Chains A and B, each alone.
Chain A
Amino acid sequence: MRRRDVLKLAGASGLGIGSGVAFVGCGAPEREYHIQSPVDIPEDTITGLDTWYASICQDSGDGCGVIVRVKSGRARKIEGNPDYPLNRGKSSARAQAALQTLYNPDRIPNPMVPRQRRGSGRYRFMRWDDVLPEFQEELSAAQDGGIVMITEPVNGHLGMILERFTQNIGARWLTYEPLEQAAVRQASAQVFGTTRVPQFDVAHTDYVLSIGGAFLEGGDSPVHYGRAYGHFRQGEGRSRGTFAHFDTHLTMTAANADEWHPVNPGTEGILALSIAHAVLDGGTVPPALRPLTGGEGTFAAYAAENVADITGVPADVIESVAHDFAAAPTAVAMGGGSAAGHTNGLFNMTAVFALNLLKENVGRQGGVLLNAPSPLPDIPADTPVTSFQEWEAFLSEIDRGQVPQVLLIHGANPVFGLPGVLNAANILGEIPYIVSFSNVLDETTALADLILPDHHYLESWGSSVPPVGAEYSTLGIQQPVVRPYHQEFEGAAGTRAFADVLLGLAQTIGGSLAEALPWESMRDAIRASVDELQARGDGSVTSDDPEAFWISVLQRGGWWIPAESVPANEPDLTGVALAEPDFSSAAQDYPYHLIVTPSVLLGDGSGSLAASPWLQSTADPMTTGVWSTWIALNPKTMETLGIAENDIVRITSVAGSLLAPAYPYPGIGEGVVSVPLGQGHSQLGRYAENRGENALRILAPVVQEQTGALAWSATRVRIARTGRRTRLPRIEGITAPVQMPDEQTFQITNETH
């Protein structure tokens, strides 16, 4: 009852006794109650209309389709594009956080050159008009092969432009991938006949066997696999799928499995073959698998009881998993994670992928589906990745005096990611002219003599061919959804799209370069491709009017067409025989395996994700740690070493050491240490600088022989206490939460239906 009603009552009774008439009708007029309800949340009111633009998320190279809410000229919210085949309206924490890399207070607003000397840390803002001629001169002056371009692995139009640009200007193009997936790609090539790792049809399969595969948190589109996983568990019209996982430690993906079993580092391939042995149950090995198993005779060595000791997986577990795998109507075997980072990573991955051959999986629903090709032949779905071996060779060439004249860098941060012993910063620093296109000051950009800041991807044009997608042949279009935050004004300052700078250079340099890259801007290049698609007259958008087609494609976020299923290739497993893992150093000096784990939020630290306070402050799913690096140790190991939670611990490899607080992690073996990646930046702005440690730095430069990749799981370390303590910032309380037996917060049932 409101006071007003009380007054009315009082007034009415007042009337009865002949007084107090003045009460009636006094008080606020009724409509004023609606001016602002004092018990309405302001969010209850409606404000104006939003504009939504479709584009592509480029934060992890997976290229999810996004739609961006724009209001008053600013991007306000990012959602998944509901139409886009890869992610169907869903998104990831990283995609959400793109707002903070877009409106990062530490973005480089203008072209810059260092004051005094390189690396002084102080810069002078420049005008594009002033710096571009000099830049062009340097490029022209460089001899053939004197230009080196370093980028992240890219696809789509940028991939095409970079390929043509480097080819025609005579530059060497290196791509940098910190945790190389070469073993996965080559294993895919050998088993499935394509380096594009196929789509494992998790959504429709009955059984997922994953050996190291961290498909829910990294790899090829966690959003795609997240959707598939949801359907796999409780999708309508299907029974609940079963999921078994083997890995050296309990990753987020492993935590979602129905059963997780630890496996000794580097023995994943043996485990896979043992499962194969149990699946075949003494039967003959299919011919395709013979090179892998070493023929029929040695196959018996993989019987479960024979490998239990080596792999650390009990024989009955191997047999029961094999039984489930064999019995399931459909099943997929996935691999990846640290298993692919051993010296025998190729063997491991090939053995795991080969399990799919036992189920005759390829091309089947609920099996392994080969990815649809890019809809346009000259727009690549992937670009070759420079192996670690090539990087080593490149650096030692410079070290020996073969110094290139010009280095161009975009999107890659090798100074941060390459093992510290390679001394990349100093060696790259010998190159006389370094130009970076980064829009944040990262460790590699800090070497640059000229910084030509790129737009953020939400401000620029681009395209993407999704890394996974068998159902559709897709070209995603990335369009600028907002004007550049640091806008160019009469050529004076602001940021400028990397591709547009290259295309502009191509036009001024002319010759074959200009012919290969005939467009004035990325927008023109994309428009040309879209016109090609329009001419096809089929797919997700059709129109006779090129202009209408163009607009519709932009509105939809791209163009796609249902793909015919790609026929299976003959597997060719020759040359991938059993291999024991090698490690960086002897077990007696360095008793623990170091497993570096990309952060679910910050990735491997190579991009600028660490500059987002949202990602920094969002709990790591397993430890809930934020803003920092920790060392995950088995509680028993900690006990043995006399280490308490939050004690600062030093781990030392042959290549270096790092300090971080210990976190008691129940899901890791006693001989394994896991350190999350993503932190340890010395640059990258206020939110990322000088926090945590970069474990990539202390990786030993051990090479996978067959792929030339860095064996990033091969490093062994020793652990030492420092006697110092700290408090790891984390979201869980001061003690790990536990449940009461009687009233469980988290409830479980064993009924699957």
Chain B
Amino acid sequence: MHERPRLTPIQINRDLLRSCLETPLVFYVLLLLLMGLVGLGVVAATLLVTYGLGVTGLNHPVFWGFFIINFVFWVGISHAGTMISAILRLSAAEWRRPVVRAAEVMTVFSLMTAALFVVLHTGRPWRTLYWAFPYDFVRGIWPDVRSPLVWDPSAIFTYLTGSILFVYAALIPDLALARDKTTGWRRLVYGVLCLGWRGNARQWKLLNATGLLLSALILPVFVSVHSIVSWDFGMSLVPGWHVHIFAPYFVVGAVLSGVAAVIALMAVMRSLFRLHDYIRPEHFDMIGRLLIVVALAWAYFYFIDVIFALLSKEEAEYEVMKLRLSPPYLYLFLLMIVCNVFLPVPIWMFRRFRRNIGIMVWTAIVVNIGMWLERFLIIIPTLQRRHPDAFAWGDYSASLVEISLVIFSFANVGLLLLLFSKVFPVIPIWEEKEGHIWKREFRIGKLRLPAIVRE
């Protein structure tokens, strides 16, 4: 890593623990803003639960709307964590170090947010929690395991559990560090949380093994989660949803939106916590390269989806796709394609742009707008027409409650991340140091080259 500045371990400790130990004004401003937006969501959710789903724009036959779009979107975002951590960790991509934790934590928080939407979107949320688990031992009733809605919670909670373990395991050495750098009650809390970490060889060995093992184990979960989410649609009898390529298509889409979200997150952390030395243009560069592949793969799947619908002899599916491709949805469709492929991919082709953090943030935002639209286009027009000869075609416009809850979801993930950053170091200190230790360079003329093959 030729751009990494030389930093002493002490400096690293100071820089990376700063977010936990100091509280700048901007933190309070952000905190208030996000709490306000979350408060708005709480009000909206209260209305929703009190008056029922009547307060949404949902209707007959558009039974699913913003909540499910948002659910799919946040599950998609959650794919960033594993993608960055597990895959890059297993493939030992060195540039991952500063971003793994933020990405993993985002996974956890976006999964939680996604799960919240599953509950909120049901007609009787209080009952959802009650019935959806195999609890009713006395009467001998199980949930229906044939329903993708039973697979969903299983997949999500497995992924959530795995991700929390992942984050936590990687936190232990840093918690120990925090314990050592704090006094009083904080020291006590960090002390308990770090599970007696002393940093001896056996502990390091165990930690490494855990990291690798968790990485390997979570990978299949990672693939399955969005596959299963896609089966909410794919397993149905709804033309336009009943599509065989939905699973890989959804996974790739998830990675696209998730990784793009990581870019935005990195940029925010970089400026908020003054981490310029740790999150550097070359990281954006690497992610940009990855995104080119993912975006093109996504485009391929989308193309297949459209083509199969248009060329198939399945009249119903043809009609649904045609609706998606005619105004007003055509405009959303075009916007989505531009946002997901035509705008960002050419930009990412250029190294200069990939290393321009401002541009990268904008492309990340654009991609996520595109991915949100993609979910919208899968769900809304399809439900509007479902079976073309059915009697009750409808339309849909989201209500203020739904819009508030969408805003809430972003604020909620942001707020949780902000609070996390207040308590835990957002960049894994020990991994960063590890990177420094592994970095030995030698010179050939003016060129510096890494001495180890770990890059």
Are A39 and B141 CB-contacts (below 8 A) given A737-B393, A742-B315?
A: yes
User: At the interface, yes or no: A38 with Cβ under 8 Å from chain B?
Assistant: yes
Are A28 and B389 CB-contacts (below 8 A) given A734-B394, A740-B315, A743-B315?
A: no
CA distance A745 to B389 in the complex (A): 7
Query: Which residue on B lies nearest to A732, using beta carbons?
Result: B391
Residues in B with CB closer than 8 Å to A28 are 138-139
User: At the interface, yes or no: B136 with Cβ under 8 Å from chain A?
Assistant: yes
Query: Which residue on A lies nearest to B318, using beta carbons?
Result: A740
From B138, B142, B389, give the contact of A740 (CB < 8 A).
B389
Q: Do residues A733 and B139 form an inter-chain contact, with CB atoms below 8 A?
A: no
User: At the interface, yes or no: B164 with Cβ under 8 Å from chain A?
Assistant: no
User: At the interface, yes or no: B392 with Cβ under 8 Å from chain A?
Assistant: yes
Query: Which residue on B lies nearest to A735, using beta carbons?
Result: B393
User: At the interface, yes or no: B388 with Cβ under 8 Å from chain A?
Assistant: yes
Q: Do residues A739 and B392 form an inter-chain contact, with CB atoms below 8 A?
A: no
Q: Do residues B140 and A733 form an inter-chain contact, with CB atoms below 8 A?
A: no
Q: How far is the CB of A347 from chain B (nearest CB, A)?
A: 42
Residues in A with CB closer than 8 Å to B140 are 2-5, 33
User: At the interface, yes or no: A20 with Cβ under 8 Å from chain B?
Assistant: no
User: At the interface, yes or no: A738 with Cβ under 8 Å from chain B?
Assistant: yes
User: At the interface, yes or no: B390 with Cβ under 8 Å from chain A?
Assistant: yes
Query: Which residue on B lies nearest to A35, using beta carbons?
Result: B139
User: At the interface, yes or no: A744 with Cβ under 8 Å from chain B?
Assistant: yes
Residues in A with CB closer than 8 Å to B138 are 27-28, 32
Q: How far is the CB of A240 from chain B (nearest CB, A)?
A: 27
Q: Do residues B142 and A3 form an inter-chain contact, with CB atoms below 8 A?
A: yes
CA distance A27 to B137 in the complex (A): 8
Q: Do residues B393 and A733 form an inter-chain contact, with CB atoms below 8 A?
A: yes
| Bitwise interface map of B from 205 to 230 toward A, beta carbon under 8 Å scored 1, else 0 | 00000000000000000000000000
Q: How far is the CB of A35 from chain B (nearest CB, A)?
A: 9
User: At the interface, yes or no: B55 with Cβ under 8 Å from chain A?
Assistant: no
| Bitwise interface map of A from 13 to 39 toward B, beta carbon under 8 Å scored 1, else 0 | 000000000000001100011000011
Residues in B with CB closer than 8 Å to A740 are 315-316, 319, 388-389
Residues in A with CB closer than 8 Å to B389 are 737-740, 743-745
Residues in B with CB closer than 8 Å to A3 are 134, 136-137, 140, 142
Residues in A with CB closer than 8 Å to B137 are 3-4, 27
Q: Which interface residue of A2, A27, A733, A735 has the most chain B CB atoms within 10 A?
A: A733
User: At the interface, yes or no: B15 with Cβ under 8 Å from chain A?
Assistant: no
CA distance A479 to B147 in the complex (A): 54
| Bitwise interface map of A from 723 to 753 toward B, beta carbon under 8 Å scored 1, else 0 | 0000000011111011110111100000000
Q: How far is the CB of B74 from chain A (nearest CB, A)?
A: 30
CA distance A32 to B139 in the complex (A): 8
From A27, A33, A733, A738, give the contact of B392 (CB < 8 A).
A733
Are A734 and B395 CB-contacts (below 8 A) given A38-B141, A743-B315, A743-B389?
A: yes
Residues in B with CB closer than 8 Å to A32 are 138
Chain B stretch 113-149: residues in CB contact (< 8 A) with chain A: 134, 136-142
Query: Which residue on A lies nearest to B131, using beta carbons?
Result: A38
Q: How far is the CB of A713 from chain B (nearest CB, A)?
A: 32
Residues in A with CB closer than 8 Å to B390 are 733, 737, 745
Query: Which residue on A lies nearest to B60, using beta carbons?
Result: A733
CA distance A36 to B13 in the complex (A): 63
Query: Which residue on A lies nearest to B388, using beta carbons?
Result: A740
CA distance A33 to B389 in the complex (A): 44
What are 30 A-B pairs at a CB distance below 8 A? Answer: A3-B134, A3-B136, A3-B137, A3-B140, A3-B142, A27-B137, A28-B139, A38-B136, A38-B139, A38-B141, A39-B141, A731-B392, A732-B392, A733-B61, A733-B391, A733-B392, A733-B393, A733-B394, A734-B393, A734-B394, A734-B395, A737-B390, A737-B391, A737-B393, A738-B389, A740-B319, A740-B388, A740-B389, A743-B316, A744-B389
